[in-house]
Structure 1
Amino acid sequence: MKAVLSKEVGGPETLVVEDIEAPTPGAEDVVVDVAACAINYPDTLIIKDMYQFKPPRPFSPGGEISGTISAVGEGVSGWQVGDKVIAGVGSGGLREQVVVPAAKLFKVPDGVDLVQASALLMTYGTTIHGLKDRGDIKAGETVLVLGAAGGVGLSAVELAKAYGCRVIAAVSTEEKGEVAKKAGADDVVIYPRAPFDKDTSKSVAQQFKDAVGKDGADIVYDIVGGDYSEPALRSIAWEGRFLVIGFPAGIAKMPLNLTLLKSCDIRGVFWGAFAARFPERNAAHIAELFELWQAGKISPLVSETYPLDRAHEAIAKLDSRGAVGKLVVTMA
């Protein structure tokens, strides 16, 4: 079978496609014939040895997959050959077949497209955990989403609207703003490209304040980091919750006096660790996501698909922050 392999530390250009031996399932495992592998920000880091987890080389990047079970290992119950599934695998998804522990599988309901389903787990899984468990979201609140046109950002727009909130989408271009509006955003802020000097930072903070209104944002959903974080924090409401999701623009240094003045919280959101520690709660979240999908309240946006031998292009585009929605590698 074919696999994308990282054999040396580096960017997407270092990845190669090679034939490797097809896998067999161990006890409590299944083999999944991969239909699609969605690309996520950790894929840009893991090949550079900049992610929390460093699998031994050679390895395949790709943290979330969809596909069909083709073999079932000893001791597996509740799953059979032919079941349509999605799974978070951490790494290893960019290959034609993947061994997955049965405990990590989620069933794809009938009628749900497998390519689109591959874009659900990490983005919407992160966001439902972030908004509900870490953000204590309530109907009627105002939510400011930074990086609102990417996969995670659009999931935040859709879910916050599904939970009855007013959503302000912050993006870098008019085109991305239109995508966020189509996902349900009530208003859009177009921010400039970093780095910011002091005056630009103040100007962006005022943009956010004007958009969220005089009472501020009850939740700031920060997928971007860097110079964008402090201006967003300055627009937060009294007792607001600032959710830290990721850092494609760099890790921000925040003025903690603002947390005192606003009596607000800065809260980390680490979905992978949550899912590992609380699998039953995570499974309930994923079931809720499929219910929202089938009710028409969310719909993962797959903006581009790539064949396996062009997977490096998808990772490069995400790394350059050029992606709208999700980029997905297909095995057809």
Structure 2
Amino acid sequence: MKALLTKAVGGPETLVLEDLPTPTPAAGEVVVDIAACAINYPDTLMIRDLYQFRPERPYSPGGEFSGTVSAVGEGVSRWKVGDRVLASTGSGALREQIAVAADRLFEVPAGIDLVQASALLMTYGTTIHALKDRGDIEAGNTVLVLGAAGGVGLSAVELAKAYGARVVAAVSSEDKAAVARKAGADDVVIYPREDMDKDASKALAQSFKDAVGPQGADIVYDIVGGQYSEPALRAIAWEGRFLVIGFPAGIARMPLNLTLLKSCDIRGVFWGAFVAREPQRNGANIEELFALWQDGRINPLISQTYPLDRAHEAIAALENRQAIGKLVVTM
């Protein structure tokens, strides 16, 4: 089988495509013929050794995939050859086949396309955990979503709307604004991509305040970080929840006096650790996501697909913040 490997620390250009032996399942494992592997921001960090987890090299990037079970190991009773599944593994999925622990798999319901299914877990799984478990979302809340046109950001727009919230999407271009509106955003703020001085930061904070309304944002969903976090915090509501999802624009330095003035919380969202610590709660969240999908209330957007030998291009595009929706590598 073919596999894309990282053998040395570096960017997407350092990845190499090689032939490896076909895996066989150990006890408690299944082998999945991978149909598609979605690209996520941690993939850009892990190959540079900038992520909190550093698998031993050589390994394949790619943390979530969908496919069909092709072999079943000893002791596995839930799965059989031919079952359509998806999983989040953190890494290892940019290859044609993978051996994975059987208890990490979820069944893909009938009628849901396997390629599109590959884009569900890390984005919508992160967001349902963020909004429900960390954000205490309620119908009627106002949610400000930073980076609202990427895969995670769009999942936040869709899920917040599904839970009855008013959504303000913050994006960096008119094209991305159109995507966010199509996903259901009630209002859009376009922020600058260039470095902001103090006056520009204040102007952005005022734009956020104008968009969310006089009561402020009950939830700020921050997938961007950097210079955008503080202006968003200034637009938060009394006792609002500021959710830290990621920081491709850099780790923000937040003035903690604002948390006192607004009596608000800054809450971290680490979905991967939640999955490991509370698999049953995560499983219930994933089942809810499939129900919402089948009801037509969410619909993962895949803007572009790549063959395995061009997977490095997908990682580079995400690293450079060029992606709209999800980028997926198909086998």
TM range (shorter): over 0.9
1:87–1:104 CA contact under 8 A, matched in 2: yes
RMSD over aligned CA atoms reads 0.4
1:150–1:325 CA contact under 8 A, matched in 2: yes
Q: Which amino acid aligns with 1:253?
A: R
Give the structure 2 partner of residue 317 of structure 1: 317
Give the structure 2 partner of residue 112 of structure 1: 112
Q: How does 1:98-177 map to 2 (within 5 A)?
A: 98-177=98-177
Q: Which amino acid aligns with 2:219?
A: I
Q: Which amino acid aligns with 2:323?
A: A
Please give the per-residue CA displacement for 1:21-72, whole angstroms capped at 9, x wherever unaligned: 1100011100000000000000000000001111111110000000000000
Normalising by structure 1, we get a TM-score of 0.99
Give the structure 2 partner of residue 84 of structure 1: 84
Please give the per-residue CA displacement for 1:305-330, whole angstroms capped at 9, x wherever unaligned: 00000000000000000000000000
Q: Which amino acid aligns with 1:169?
A: A
Normalising by structure 2, we get a TM-score of 1.00
Q: In 2, distance between residues paired with 1:152 and 1:136?
A: 18
Q: Which amino acid aligns with 2:119?
A: A
Q: Which amino acid aligns with 1:242?
A: F
1:168–1:212 CA contact under 8 A, matched in 2: yes
Residues 1:38 and 2:2 are matched in the alignment: no
Identical columns (%): 78
Q: In 2, distance between residues paired with 1:27 and 1:90?
A: 21
Q: In 1, distance between residues paired with 2:74 and 2:196?
A: 57
Q: In 1, distance between residues paired with 2:82 and 2:279?
A: 24
Q: Which amino acid aligns with 1:329?
A: V
* Number of residues of Structure 1 aligned to a counterpart in Structure 2: 331
Q: In 1, distance between residues paired with 2:196 and 2:212?
A: 21
Give the structure 2 partner of residue 279 of structure 1: 279
* Secondary structure in structure 2 of the residue aligned to 1:95: coil
Q: In 2, distance between residues paired with 1:236 and 1:63?
A: 33
Give the structure 2 partner of residue 252 of structure 1: 252
Please give the per-residue CA displacement for 1:259-318, whole angstroms capped at 9, x wherever unaligned: 000000000000000011000000000000000000000000000000000000000000
Give the structure 2 partner of residue 213 of structure 1: 213
Give the structure 1 partner of residue 12 of structure 2: 12
Question: How much does 1:238 deviate?
Answer: 0.1
Question: How much does 1:194 deviate?
Answer: 3.8
Q: In 1, distance between residues paired with 2:297 and 2:253?
A: 36
1:194–1:227 CA contact under 8 A, matched in 2: no
Q: In 2, distance between residues paired with 1:196 and 1:246?
A: 20
Q: Which amino acid aligns with 2:175?
A: E
Give the structure 2 partner of residue 69 of structure 1: 69
Q: Provide structure 1 residue ranges, at least 5 long, that are not aligned to the other structure.
A: none
Q: Which amino acid aligns with 1:25?
A: P
Q: In 1, distance between residues paired with 2:193 and 2:110?
A: 42
Question: How much does 1:196 deviate?
Answer: 1.4
* Secondary structure in structure 2 of the residue aligned to 1:157: helix
Question: How much does 1:78 deviate?
Answer: 1.0
Give the structure 2 partner of residue 224 of structure 1: 224
Give the structure 2 partner of residue 268 of structure 1: 268
Q: In 1, distance between residues paired with 2:90 and 2:70?
A: 20
